[in-house]
Amino acid sequence: MDATAAGLLLDHYRRHKRDLPWREEPRVPYRTWLSEVMLQQTTVATVTPRFLRFLHRWPTVEALAAASDEEILGEWAGLGYYARARNLIACARAVAARGGFPETEAELRKLPGLGAYTAAAVAALAFGEDAVPLDTNVERVVARMFGIADRRALPEAASGWFPAGAHGAFAEALMDLGAAICRPRAPRCDACPVAAHCAARALGTPELFPAPKVKKERPHRFGLAWWVRRGDDVWLVRRPESGLLGGMAALPGPEWSEQRPAANPLAIHRHGFTHFTLDLMVVPKAEPPASEGWWQPLDRLAEAGLPTLYRRAAEAALAAEREPRLAA
């Protein structure tokens, strides 16, 4: 493919690019990095207000690095994929310790919790390096433009298409095109500035590119969450630092298993994780378990930093208390 399509796409991007807070000029590496971590497997609409809240609270990477784990994890609550928050903490502290972000993809990869995509994105967007960030939107556009079904061939194809000296702008042009026009389903080929160059459109089957990932059936698990009330307070704990939802506030309870426990729950909340689904059974308990925790006022439950799983389980329990019945 010649440079014509790349030029058309860059022209379209300059005229129609999304107005996003992390794209303010001049680019600030901290903002670029923070947004890229937040945007992993999370929508722009969800991330935008949370990004602004983080910036208001911690305007620099040094400020974020100085915050406690509990503060950051609490602010992250509701964004999901909580390993990202722990990686965010580790990376912020490493950057603050070295006096700033490294400016190359290779050096960025050495930071804790910073993977291949994020390193390439920060290098290209914040520092102007000719790195090639491949997120889901970029992969889809490249696959369709070149008619490539095999995802393993996409990095090489993308590397040959990104115009030298403009990798950051071109990456965002592909991201915007994939988000608004070259969508997974019902792509808007009639509005695409590079439709005439698209191999998948020429074949008449753009939705078949790239080939869909094989989805594995997720196992199902069960969990107990103790609902311990003292007047208008509820007992909360902090989960162990390692493992799923590590370090997050939670309702107390034993480890989850594949066997349904014998219990008479006040409420049940079904939750989907990436690799399994869970029925969390909220069971009343008279006294808190023998573990460290705290009494959280129910009218300030939103301030506890509960992840979505426990927040919705608590909401289901409160609803069941108001109208006693099993809440699914």
pLDDT of residue 241: 85
- CB-CB neighbours of 19 under 10 Å: 6
Alpha-carbon gap, residue 123 to 108, rounded angstroms: 8
Q: State the catalytic residue, choosing from 36, 129, 139, 172.
A: 36
pLDDT band at 158 (very low <50, low <70, confident <90, very high): very high
pLDDT at 1 over 90: no
Q: Are 144 and 204 in contact (CB under 8 A)?
A: no
Residue 200: what pLDDT?
A: 96
The string of pLDDT tens digits covering residues 257-311 is: 999 999 999 999 999 998 999 999 999 999 998 889 999 999 999 999 999 999 9
As a whole number, mean pLDDT of residues 68-76 equals 93
Which letter does DSSP use for residue 111 in this model? S
pLDDT at 236: 96
- Which residues have C-beta within 8 Å of that of residue 213, sequence separation ≥ 6? 151
Q: Is the pLDDT of residue 47 over 80?
A: yes
The average pLDDT across 63-79 equals: 94
Which tokens belong to 6? 């790349």
SS3 state of residue 162? coil
Q: DSSP letter at 94?
A: H
Q: How far apart are CA 215 and CA 231, in angstroms?
A: 46
* 196-220 confidence digits (pLDDT tens): 999 999 999 999 999 988 888 899 9
- The pLDDT tens digits of the residues spanning 24-44 come to 999 999 999 999 999 998 999
Say if residues 29 and 101 touch (Cβ distance below 8 Å). Answer: yes
Domains and CATH numbers, the chain: 3-208 (1.10.340.30), 220-322 (3.90.79.10)
d(CA 57, CA 301): 20
Residue 2: per-residue pLDDT: 61
Phi first, then psi: give them for residue 33, nearest 5 degrees. -60, -50
Alpha helices in the chain (DSSP H): 3-16, 29-39, 44-57, 61-66, 69-76, 83-98, 105-108, 116-127, 136-146, 154-161, 167-180, 199-203, 308-322
User: Model confidence over 220-244: pLDDT tens digits?
Assistant: 999 999 999 999 999 999 999 888 8
Question: What is the pTM (predicted TM-score) of this model?
Answer: 0.83
Quick check: 13 and 176 in contact, CB under 8 A? yes
Give DSSP secondary structure letters for 173-187.
HHHHHHHHTS-SSS-
152 token code pair? 């393993």
36 assigned to active site: yes
Q: Which residues contact 92 (CB under 8 A, 6 or more apart)?
A: 61, 64, 65
pLDDT at 140 over 60: yes
* Structure-block tokens of residue 256: 């989850």
Q: Is the pLDDT at 326 greater than 70, yes or no?
A: no
